[in-house]
Structure 1
Amino acid sequence: MRWWDIDPVLELEKDLFPDDAWSRGMFWSELAHSRGPEATRRYVVAVEGERLVGYAGLAAAGDLGDVQTIAVTRDQWGTGLGARLLTELLRAATAFECAEVMLECRVDNVRAQKLYERFGFEAIGFRRGYYQPGNVDALVMRLNTASDGGPAADPTSVQGTQGTEING
């Protein structure tokens, strides 16, 4: 992701997460930490032709990675694009030498939970009332990457996303 991606990212962010969408400043702040030798973030976008169809981000601190966000346009749901984005984040976690990767997911987002479980994430707890408004709980999930030498994903197994390019 680059600064010129922020406007289309914000459009998708507001469409998918209208009640708790990130601000322009939040994305600028994350991108400020994604370049150079001291980088602690990795943000990627997925484009199809000229159209942004997804984005994702990871933050690293010490040996802990945290999936900050994954978003895919509604017309791309079920195509494997979310899995490709997650694969890129797990590659970044390996490059950052993260022993564990954490994430939060709405308890009512079963589709996302199944994606994370396919990659080896396990539920470890809840954050009560994490998502507002609505007071929706978050399911906290963890992937231990240290025990198996890296992410559980095989990026070659993702199908159905031909023509979609993932860019960092």
Structure 2
Amino acid sequence: MTAQRLAALHARCFSDGPRPWSVTEFADFLASDLDYVLHGPDTLGVVRVVGDEAELLTICVDPGAQGAGRGRAMLNRLIAEAQARGATAMFLEVAADNAAALALYSATGFVQTGRRAGYYRRGGGMVDALVMVRALPLQQG
């Protein structure tokens, strides 16, 4: 998938939330040695791995395809790739009012470790970000 298509999908996913990422930002992710982008026809995820730590930068499912387990499947793919790259922990930030994402992360073993007050801008207001982490067991083989 091209940077243009990734940016368009991201824009559809985040039309009512934080600023969607640009074509240039996705081109940079695709060219980076630290970042990896996984995608399907209606899902995408971006993770950065530095040393033994991974950071989930974004994950999204096209609004028309939500509710069918695609987000969980993408998250599992992202976690497996982080483990394959040697990460032993994955971090993320999520808007405190994003109930669906919080449910997904909690169900897949992420726990809250911090809070960033007023991190996300929404319309005329600000929303806190919750910092979450999950340990990643080392893969055998």
Q: TM-score w.r.t. structure 2 length?
A: 0.88
Q: Given the alignment of the two structures, is residue 140 of structure 1 paired with residue 134 of structure 2, yes or no?
A: no
SS at match of 1:132: strand
The one-character-per-residue Cα deviations of 1:110-154 (angstroms, maximum 9, x if unpaired) are: 1111111111000111111111242111111100114xx45xxxx
Letter in 1 for 2:23: R
Q: CA offsets per residue over residues 70-102 of structure 1, 9 Å max, x none?
A: 110112111000011101110111011111100
Q: Which runs of 4+ in 1 moved over 6 A?
A: none
**Paired amino acid for 1:12:** L
List gaps (5 residues or longer) in structure 2. Answer: none
What is residue 125 of structure 1 aligned with on the other side? 114
- Structure-to-structure mapping, 1:55-74, within 5 angstroms: 55-74=44-63
| Post-superposition CA distance 1:31-67 (Å, at most 9, x none) | 111xxxxx322211112xxxxx111111001111000
How many angstroms apart in 1 are the aligned matches of 2:63 and 2:110?
23
- The aligned residue for residue 99 of structure 2 is 110
Higher relative contact order (CA 8 A, sep 6+): 1
Structure 2 residue aligned with 1:46? 40
Which of these residues, 5, 15, 30, is aligned with residue 8 of structure 1?
A: 5
Query: What letter corresponds to residue 14 of structure 1 in structure 2?
Result: A
In 1, distance between residues paired with 2:29 and 2:7? Answer: 14
Q: Percent identity?
A: 30
TM-score (norm 1): 0.75
Question: What is the rounded CA distance, in whole Å, between the counterparts of 1:127 and 1:24 in structure 2?
Answer: 27
